[in-house]
Amino acid sequence: MTIHINNITKRYSDEIILDDITLKINDGEHIGIVGENGCGKSTFLKILAGKEKCQQGQIITTKNTKIGYLEQNFREFKGSVHDYLMSSRNDILKMQNQMHCMEIEISDPDHLECLDDLLKRYGNLCERFEMAGGYDLLCKVDQMTQGLRIAYLIDHDYDTLSGGEKMRVNLAYLLIQDLDVLLLDEPTNHLDRAGIQWLEKYMSSLRKTMIIVSHDRFFLNHTVSKIYEIENGEIVMYPGNYDDYKKEKALRFERLKHDFEEQQKQILKLKNTIRRYRQWAYEGDNESFYRKAKQLEKKLSQIERLKNTEYANRKMNIALPACERSSKEVLSIKELCKRYGDKNLLDHIDLTIYWQDRIALCGDNGSGKSTLIRILMNQLQADEGSVKKGNHVDIGYLPQIIIFNDEKQRLLNSFCYEAAMSEEKARPYLRKFGFDGDDMAKRLEHLSGGERVRLKLAMIFVNHINFIIFDEPTNHLDFSSIEIVESILEEFKGTLLIVSHDRYLIKRLTKRKMILEKGKLIECQNAF
């Protein structure tokens, strides 16, 4: 199986998303797609899946290639989750329903007279079911629902599920099918830690062709062997996983920068030579100097100019304001309990956070992480226990959703007001957080997710905060923005508590790892 992508171009109005792309995807390749938000990653998958057309070029696949696409919009279905997962083989689903009806008949005492005939027909139906692959399909359904942690949904009506539940069910539906190519757009969304770990192992062992768009760098490291980066309408291929891509991209940037600088020197040298020849020709009225100048001008015009590339993911050199040292014990949590009805969401939690601790708070969705953070921030009252803050502890909090007081204000004006700082001092300070002059003129309502996080961080650090609590700081950010946030956090000298599912960020920034599970807080050496 091979996919040939020949000279495809995709535009939205006047914006070019994919510009004359030519690629060849071979059988069994595991490819990760990365790039800034809005660069065309999901569009590329939709074109491969036949969900969108392009203005130019074509996609050629081997005959009878079966392609599956995990998308965000799901088809309607009336019936149980079990029936939905089996519906890829309606013939098998129909036989299973017939078998179930016959089992009811066989167990009915009123049918004793025709029991032998029923058993014979049931045996024949079971044999046909097995020959058609029914039992194999049932095993697959069980494997996927257990692995993706959705077995509890198997008897639920499909159309009553939440969006996140439907996403997981549809991922299972794709993996169950006998497909040649899997196109997966953010497959780890809505999966818990155990589900992601299972999916990593399962997908890394698959021999199928997989093309994955994901913001989970740890997941890409474990599932792909090639990275395609979409940037300015072009696709650049990097061999290896995400870590290999980062290293090779840095080297490629240095090569491109060197080539550009050398070409600029060559162009400047040619321009100076042309200017001298023209001056000599003018002063001496010498036609040969004119001819030489024209020859060099022609040579100059034929040079294919290299782009002055910028490496968006470079490490930022940030000098953060110094923070005051707090007491040795920053926060002491004793016997903390929080109940909702009969459920003990937090069950006698104990935790001591020390000065310059860097702690990751992990756990499945609904385990109580945000509830614990809200109690620490005095936004919620615990039912039992205590939270004691140490001396000289100044807490800064970065929530999942960042909303500013006046979204109509411009970035610079808002920061100056919050920080009580003049524009003259604010501009160089904001540049440390990646904001240029044009950014500072933006209205807050037009900021991207990454810009909101960086501005909030700038507001936190300007107040010399020495203990920071982050609640999912990198959700929905592209890699470039995440890299900037991580660079900022690496420079912070105070105490850090991060609630996050981002294992790559956790590995890079934290030293202690706590898992909240079934109401208990457990410290472990390796959270993943």
Span 438-479, pLDDT tens digits = 889 999 998 888 888 889 988 988 888 899 998 886 766 778
Give CA–CA dist 267/147, Å, rounded: 60
Average pLDDT over all residues of the chain:
88
Q: Tell me which DSSP letter residue 462 carries.
A: T
Alpha helices by DSSP H, 177-303: 193-205, 217-223, 242-284, 287-301
Most confident range (mean pLDDT) of 167-171, 286-290, 522-526 is: 167-171
Model pLDDT, residue 23: 93
Model pLDDT, residue 238: 95
pLDDT digits (tens, 9 = 90+) for 344-354: 899 999 999 99
Q: What is the mean pLDDT of residues 400-423?
A: 90
Model pLDDT, residue 95: 87
Alpha helices by DSSP H, 341-492: 369-376, 411-419, 423-431, 437-440, 449-461, 479-491
Give CA–CA dist 498/485, Å, rounded: 13
Q: Who has greater pLDDT, 10 or 449?
A: 10
Phi first, then psi: give them for residue 159, nearest 5 degrees: -75, -5
Model pLDDT, residue 116: 78
> Could you give the percent of the chain with pLDDT greater than 90?
43
Phi first, then psi: give them for residue 404, nearest 5 degrees: -95, 160
Phi first, then psi: give them for residue 361, nearest 5 degrees: -105, 115
> Residues for the chain: how many in total?
528
Phi first, then psi: give them for residue 420, nearest 5 degrees: 50, 55
Evaluate if pTM is beyond 0.75.
Answer: yes
3-state SS, 336-348, equals EEEEECCEEEEEE
What beta strand segments (E) does 26-123 contain?
30-34, 56-61, 67-70
Q: Tell me which DSSP letter residue 465 carries.
A: -
Least confident of 213-222, 416-425, 481-490: 481-490
Q: What is the mean pLDDT of residues 158-176?
A: 90
Model pLDDT, residue 163: 84
Give CA–CA dist 473/486, Å, rounded: 10
pLDDT digits (tens, 9 = 90+) for 90-110: 888 888 888 888 888 787 777
Model pLDDT, residue 208: 92
pLDDT confidence bin for 311, thresholds 50/70/90: low
pLDDT digits (tens, 9 = 90+) for 62-83: 888 899 999 777 888 888 999 9
pLDDT confidence bin for 194, thresholds 50/70/90: confident
Question: Which sign, positive or negative, has the C-alpha torsion 152, 154, 158, 160?
Answer: negative
Model pLDDT, residue 314: 45
Q: Who has greater pLDDT, 306 or 252?
A: 252
Q: What is the mean pLDDT of residues 497-514?
A: 90
Residue type at 428? P
pLDDT digits (tens, 9 = 90+) for 352-368: 999 999 999 988 877 88
Does residue 315 register a pLDDT over 50? no
Least confident of 245-249, 417-421, 442-446, 524-528: 524-528
Comparing C-alpha atoms, which of 272, 265, 273, 268 is closest to residue 292?
273
